[in-house]
Chains A and B, each alone.
Chain A
Amino acid sequence: MNKTPKIVSQKCKGARDLMPKDMKSFRFIEDAFRKSCRSWDYQEVRTPTLEYLHLFTAAGTLTPNMLSKVYSFLDWDGWSGERVVLRPDGTIPVARLYIENLPPGEIARLFYVTNVFAFEETGTENREIWQCGVELIGSSKPASDVELILLAVDASRQLGITEVQIQLSHAGVLNALIKQLNLSPDEEVRLLDRILDGDWQALTEANPKNSEMSRLVSLFLDLKGKTSGFLENLKAMPKLPPNLKAALTNFAEIAELLDVLDCRYQIDITSTRGFEYYTGLCFQLTTRGHKIGSGGRYDNLIPLIGGQKTPACGFALYLEPLTDLVRPKVEQIEGPEILVRCDSAKTDAVSNTFKLAAELRQAGFVTELDFNNRKLSARWQVVIQDKPPTFIITDLIRNQKKDVSSIAEVIKTVGGSA
């Protein structure tokens, strides 16, 4: 039996190649995202792929579960034991960038397109994930939370995604509820870690004996609100602890602004995921069942990693689900393409080929060269010959052929019909 040699993939587990069609979608998203951000006067930044591990280990940054999945290693000069990581998160490095480069307290509107790395055990999912991130640093105003939600919706719209569902929750409310359980600081952190990994059951389990408490918890967890009225109702309940009331007030202010601006949302306290650094409003964007982005307020992060007390909020859109969503749209917007073919090896013909292609590009056509006698796939094909008529133009759609003798005529023919 003949054995064909087996092609063994040499690609790392959990890594992926982006092919031209993927890159088209990728660039489309990036461009639309950049355009939205620029029109709101956000400035683009880029942080290094490598950061020190300790930037991410402080309590209140990444959960231990997330930390156990970071790619960390000793650098070549790591004899001091200082470890570096492949950036596991987009926000924390930007917070570091802010501390190191901008005047304390200054309002900064920043955005970035970046990859983040997290180990995924099966190797079937991506271990390198791309996201479009936005951070608004220096403002604690509810209007700033609203600004980010509207910008996220705006960017989605630029991508042609119009049905965006917004889910709101509030880390301050969650933290106030946890405080009610009277746990030790250690237990508190552990409970929060479980919740942020998606285990909301943990909150109801934490204090099953106190019926008053479990009633309060279930009121917050089980119900989904649709307007700021829902939050006002919760706020009006008797014997509410002050920190819970304060968090609810902030939550309601933001919700009310969204009501006025006619921006629809759903309130779901259990939609918070993943990040310990959130302190206030958290939001998630979904479209047709795909989670496409999330964000929130993180007022304690900058002081935690060594900066002054600075309020901040941000969000990220996820490139992977968006790539699939925008693909049909991207495929429609292919530009006009022309194949310029030269079957001759003579200097004049080759020179004519390059000259023609240059002028076609100048005229705005995407022009591919062919010296290998390939089958044409573009609508237009121009074959260059040694003897006049020098140019044979084929229009594949109309199934027409035309012979011309000058470059100007080619441009005129193609330009006139395209």
Chain B
Amino acid sequence: MSTATKVESIKLALPKGKLLPTTACLLKEAGLEFADYTPGTRAYRLKSTRLPDLSAKIFQEKDIPVQVAVGNYDLGICSLEWIEELLAKYPSSAVLKVADLEYSKGNVFLAASRYGKITSALDLGNGQSNWRIVTEYPNLAEFAALSLRLRRFNIFPVWGAAEAYPPENADLALLWAKDERELELLNLKAIKTLMPSHVFLIANKESWQAKNVSRIISYFSRTLEMKDKPWLKIRTQSAKSSNDFRPVSSGEKIWLALPDGHQQPPTAELLNRAGLKVDGYSEDRLSRRPIFRADWIQAKVIRPQDMPLQVANGNFDLAITGKDWLLDHVSRFPSSPVIEVMDLGFGQVRVVAVVSQEFPAADISQVMQSQAANVAPVRVASEYINIADKYLRDKHASRYRLIPTWGASEAFLPEDADLLIENTQTGKTLAKHNLKIIDTILQSTACLIGNKGSLGSSFKREKVGALLEMLRRAVKGN
């Protein structure tokens, strides 16, 4: 046997988004920097500037525990709450918490509105209420509800903006916040502190048992033992928008959900063209509860992904979202009462099936054939998990595994997934990442959605009719 130890390659999963600046600073201090790991980077695959055998990939934070648990990555950096979210449902996941990296400290709170009827956990045990819990962490929420012995509860998973829902559209929100003061600024109050959370270095159990990753760990250890920790001084700006609660003035209202993110500027422009004046719905001053000059409209700003479910449940009469998210919703819930009311024309994207350029298939049936010969199931990564599932079912795909992602899905191909169901505007980004489109599933645009059953009162019928007419004229003038 040779005495020379073979240097094994080590793969690291790194977070994008709000943790990126601090993580980059820590890695730099540790001597493990990656050239392209900077805010706004367009790269996904990173090579260590110093260690040739260390590589990394950038993921949405919540994808990291899963990617490490399934063994695609040896090590990962992410917040404790995402690790616990995985372990709450799958306690035997192969994830080890190796080191507390100490930054981005906060807590996961179960919180209620300061203006609602819930004042403490004791209120939850009473009566026959069905508590609605809105959260980005559905598994932790279920754990919390069961351990509080809630008699009856419904959990509504959301992509974000959980703070906007109570008290009208949910009784409780389970969310991360720095501290109770930050909750208060969001007009929420803590009912229960579920767990403290900060960033951890995690490892795949298999890698830890079979591979030597000690060199990398010791870089971290040395840095964590330093007196001066410059990365702890980096301020992660809180991205939360204001959430000023105002008691609803008397009289019936039309509840409208407006999108944040990419769809916000064109939606604001459309409202403007329709002659609907709104305060607190601009990029520089975004409120979760913008105010319409027309006082019969009551609005909230939430994620477009979450709108169909909210409209289905009668929390909103109308919402502006994308046809892609509507299709994802009805693919999951075919008997949902949500319908498209009006095509708004903007926000054009295609939902496409994508494989790597190297993948020997020109269309989806060839992907399935190549899989039939292979023992392993096709790994399908998608933000549109229900569209992807229905698409593959309709194609009679026999063995496939869905990997839910939270954006940045193109990074998954080809190492961590075989097929991608993803949206694209021009296809340029996909081509740049060496990917090819093999099928188009949907031409999507922004649309106004409504609930078939919600227009019960004559007031609502009249007002919704008026609103539709204003928007229709604005769209036509486009």
Contacts and interface: CB of A to CB of B under 8 A. Distances in A.
Interface of A: 8, 54, 57-59, 64, 67-68, 74, 76-83, 121, 189, 306
B313 A57 contact: no
A59 B336 contact: no
B146 A79 contact: no
Given A76-B335, A77-B333, A54 B151 contact: yes
A58 B151 contact: yes
A79 B149 contact: no
Contact of B335 (A67, A77, A306): A77
B472 interface: no
18 contacts: A8-B375, A54-B151, A57-B151, A58-B151, A59-B151, A74-B333, A76-B334, A76-B335, A77-B333, A79-B332, A79-B336, A79-B338, A80-B154, A81-B154, A81-B156, A83-B154, A189-B149, A306-B128
Interface string B80-110: 0000000000011000000000000000000
A67 B154 contact: no
A79 B326 CA distance: 13
Contacts of A8: 375
Given A59-B149, A64-B146, A79 B309 contact: yes
Contact of B132 (A81, A189, A306): A81
B147 A80 contact: no
Contacts of B152: 54, 57-58
A48 to B, nearest CB: 19
Contacts of A121: 91-92
Interface residues of B, number: 29
Contacts of A80: 154, 312-313
Contacts of A74: 332-333
Which 8 A-B pairs rank lowest in CB-CB distance, beginning with the nearest? Answer: A81-B154, A59-B149, A79-B312, A79-B333, A54-B152, A77-B335, A58-B151, A79-B336
A306 B128 CA distance: 9
A141 B252 CA distance: 56
A8 B154 CA distance: 39
B87 to A, nearest CB: 12
A55 to B, nearest CB: 9
Interface in B375-398: 375
Contacts of B146: 57, 64, 67-68
Given A8-B375, A58-B152, A79-B329, 19 more contacts: A54-B130, A54-B151, A54-B153, A57-B145, A57-B149, A57-B150, A58-B151, A59-B151, A64-B147, A67-B146, A68-B143, A76-B332, A76-B333, A76-B334, A79-B333, A79-B336, A80-B154, A80-B312, A81-B132
A415 B128 CA distance: 68
A67 B92 CA distance: 17
Contacts of A59: 125, 149, 151
A378 to B, nearest CB: 41
A415 to B, nearest CB: 53
Pick from B92, B125, B128, B151 the residue with the most CB of A within 10 Å: B151
A300 B333 CA distance: 36
B333 A81 contact: no
B155 interface: yes
Q: Which secondary structure dominates chain A's binding surface?
A: loop
A68 B151 CA distance: 15
A81 B313 contact: yes
A78 to B, nearest CB: 7
Interface in B307-365: 309, 312-313, 329, 332-336, 338
Contacts of A82: 154
Contacts of A54: 130, 151-153
Contacts of B155: 81
Contacts of A81: 132, 154-156, 313
A65 to B, nearest CB: 10
Contacts of B336: 77, 79
Nearest to B336: A79
A68 B150 CA distance: 14
A8 B152 CA distance: 41
A64 B145 CA distance: 10
Nearest to B148: A186
Nearest to B150: A57
Nearest to A68: B146
A204 to B, nearest CB: 24
Contacts of B150: 57
A121 B336 CA distance: 34
Nearest to B145: A57
Contacts of B147: 64
Contacts of A76: 332-335
Nearest to B399: A10
B333 A78 contact: yes
Given A81-B132, A81-B313, A57 B153 contact: yes
A64 to B, nearest CB: 5
A57 to B, nearest CB: 7
Nearest to A80: B313
A54 B336 CA distance: 21
B86 to A, nearest CB: 15
A54 to B, nearest CB: 4
A81 B314 CA distance: 12
Contacts of B335: 76-77
B321 to A, nearest CB: 15
B151 A79 contact: no
A79 B313 contact: yes
Nearest to B130: A54
B37 to A, nearest CB: 38
A56 to B, nearest CB: 10
Contacts of B375: 8
A68 to B, nearest CB: 7
Interface in B113-151: 125, 128, 130, 132, 143, 145-147, 149-151
Contacts of B143: 68
B315 to A, nearest CB: 11
